[in-house]
Amino acid sequence: MSNNHVIQIAPSILSADFARLAASAKEAIEGGATLLHVDVMDGHFVPNITIGPPVVASLRKAISSDIPLDCHLMIENADEYIPAFADAGADWISVHQEACVHLHRVLQHIKGHGLKAGVVINPATPIGTLTEVLDMVDYVLVMSVNPGFGGQKFIPSCLEKIRKLAAIQSTLRTGFKIEVDGGITLENIAEIVRAGAEVIVAGSAVFGSGDPRKNTERLLKTGREANLLQV
């Protein structure tokens, strides 16, 4: 029995050359990427600083509007910044369960802007912390590395977490997608898809070395085949 998941590759621009961001993103899109993952870090919630709304606005101008910008906010006080990201052209916004005291309110706020709302959990955060918001989110982002940096190794225990979440997903009337982020490569993408992931974030596997087009194509092909072969 195969599921009806549509596998999507979301290249993380964190691993691209920021001086040629639009060109790199377009290469990945030519390889089959159907959304772009934008990692926003504040130096407080995570020990790194990256980019904010101005870069999202520039990307939005440069990239075809068919390609949603998936903004992963690894920041404190995310609620304060939702309007700025919405104005900049974010299409999907995810916030960390661990960083939001009023998670329900922040998710409502994102949806109030007409955007897709996602909740993110770190590797040490149990799925049970999401029970009360699963019916209001468009996607759950399972971190498979500790957030803050690209190029880290996939944490294997996250596979079981994806499986558990997929089991819950199949029992709910409202649908949410399962996105996975961190350490995904051509070698492990098949098992991640088989565990139940639909949206696959890949930074270094797309932009780290070689041609982003070919890298994206290969990831997508391997991910789709794993999905089709599911029994």
From residue 111 to residue 150, the character string flagging contacts with ligand DX5 as x (rule: CB under 6 A) and all else as - is ----------------------------------x-xxxx
Q: Closest separation between CB of residue 151 and ligand DX5, Å?
A: 5
Residue 135 falls in the annotated catalytic set: no
Question: Are β-strands 139-143 and 177-181 bridged in parallel, bridged antiparallel, or unpaired?
Answer: parallel
Looking at the Cβ atoms of 108 and 149, the one nearer to ligand DX5 is 149
CA gap 99, 107 in Å, rounded: 12
Measured on CA atoms in the order 163, 167, 168, 174, is the torsion positive or negative? positive
> What is the per-residue DSSP string for 3-41?
-----EEEEBGGGS-GGGHHHHHHHHHHTT--SEEEEEE
- What's the token pair of residue 66? 């068919």
Q: Which stretch binds ligand DX5 (CB under 6 A): 78-86, 132-140, 180-188, 189-197?
A: 180-188
Element (H, E) at 86: helix 78-88
Judged by CB, which is closer to Zn ion: 42, or 181?
181
Residue 115: closest CA among 80, 135, 88, 96? 88
Q: How far apart are CA 141 and CA 73, in angstroms?
A: 11
| CB 173, min distance to ligand DX5, A | 30
Cβ of residue 171: shortest distance to Zn ion, in angstroms?
27
Close Cβ partners of 131 (under 8 Å, ≥ 6 residues apart): none
Task: Determine what percent of the chain falls in helix, strand and coil, rounding each to the nearest 5.
Answer: 40, 20, 40
**Is residue 156 within the footprint of ligand DX5 (CB under 6 A)?**
no
Amino acid letter for position 9: I
Q: Whose structure tokens read 């979301």?
A: 10
| Contact between 14 and ligand DX5 per CB under 6 A | yes
Task: Specify the pairing of strand 8-11 against strand 36-41.
Answer: unpaired
- Catalytic: which of 42, 79, 91, 181? 181
Stretch that binds Zn ion, among 37-45, 161-169, 191-199, 212-220 (CB under 5 A): 37-45
Question: CB 28 → ligand DX5: shortest distance, Å?
Answer: 12
* Binding piece for ligand DX5, criterion CB under 6 A, among 55-63, 81-89, 101-109, 181-189: 181-189
Size of the site for ligand DX5 (CB under 6 A): 22
- Determine which residue in the list 5, 27, 39, 193 makes contact with ligand DX5, applying CB under 6 A: 39
* 79 included as an active-site residue: no
* Identified catalytic residue from 39, 42, 70, 91: 39
Positions in the binding site for ligand DX5 (CB under 6 A): 12, 14-15, 37, 39, 72, 145, 147-152, 181-184, 201-205
The residues assigned a catalytic role are: 39, 181
Positions in the binding site for Zn ion (CB under 5 A): 39, 72, 181
